[in-house]
Amino acid sequence: MTGLGFASVPLYSMFCEATGLNGTTQRGLVAPGAVAGAGRVQIDFDTNVSAKLPWKFAAEHPSETVDVGARDMAFFTATNTSNKPVTGTATFNVTPAQAGKYFTKIQCFCFTQQTLKPGETARMPVIFFVDPKMLDDPDAKDIKTITLSYTFYPVDSGGGAS
């Protein structure tokens, strides 16, 4: 039972990634390219920071309109407002939830922890695409707006928040 308990978290994560459950996005290597006549989707960016993390975090542009299938890049900035180095990690999801399995990230700051020096500002990219397979899904084909949401949390260094 103990082994099952430890295995359940990574198994659940793999299941969410494979199905897009709860707005879990996908990871990919290459965008298929814009599909003629597939249309465009508006991507809205939502940014949040835990009250325990002394950072400011925002998207450079609150939204972008992208061609379905085309590779796109958005930039975010994070600023450490404290007087000591702080490490944070970002969680993410998309809404509507059924868009999760079609929103694919190629590169993202959310894949790794971010450490900022006192007063430092970092410019962080996310490279993504909306999979054209979304147009074949009766539950997702009419989606015109997808919200990509990030929340940064402090990384626990063993003695509390960093």
**Within-domain flag for 31:** yes
How many structural domains compose the chain? 1
* 94-132: b (≥16 Cβ within 10 Å) or e: bbeebbbbbbbbbebbbeeebebeeeeebebebebbbbb
Q: What pLDDT does 87 receive?
A: 97
Q: What is the pLDDT of residues 79-130, one digit of tens each?
A: 999 999 999 999 999 999 999 999 999 999 999 999 999 999 999 999 999 9
Confidence at residue 36, expressed as pLDDT on a 0 to 100 scale: 75
In a domain, 159, yes or no: no
Domain membership of residue 161 (yes or no) is no
Q: Please give the pLDDT value at position 14.
A: 42
- Residue 162 falls inside a structural domain: no
Phi, psi of 97 (to 5 degrees): -55, -35
44-80, pLDDT tens digit by residue? Answer: 999 999 999 999 999 999 999 999 999 999 999 999 9
Q: What are phi and psi of 108, to 5 degrees?
A: -155, 140
Residue 25: predicted pLDDT: 64
* CA 117 to chain CA mean position, Å: 23
Q: How many CB atoms sit inside 10 A of residue 138's CB?
A: 7
Q: List the domain range (segments joined by +) for residue 56.
A: 2-154
The reply to whether 122 falls in a domain is: yes
> Is residue 72 within 8 Å of residue 45, measured between CB atoms?
no
Structure tokens at 107: 């590169």
Q: What is the pLDDT of residue 34?
A: 73
**Residue 158 pLDDT more than 70?**
no
- Is 70 a member of any domain? yes
What CATH number does the domain containing 136 carry?
2.60.370.10
The pTM for the full model equals 0.77
Model confidence over 1-49: pLDDT tens digits?
A: 444 444 433 433 444 444 444 345 665 655 666 777 788 999 999 999 9
Give the integer Cα–Cα distance in Å for 133 and 141.
9
Predicted confidence (pLDDT) at residue 160 exceeds the cutoff of 70? no
Pair 38, 71: CB distance under 8 Å: no
Q: How far is CA 144 from CA 25, 52, 63, 91, in A?
A: 17, 34, 13, 23
DSSP 8-state class, residue 142 = T
* Residue at 160 is within a domain: no
Residue 33 located in a structural domain: yes
Give me the pLDDT at residue 144, please: 96
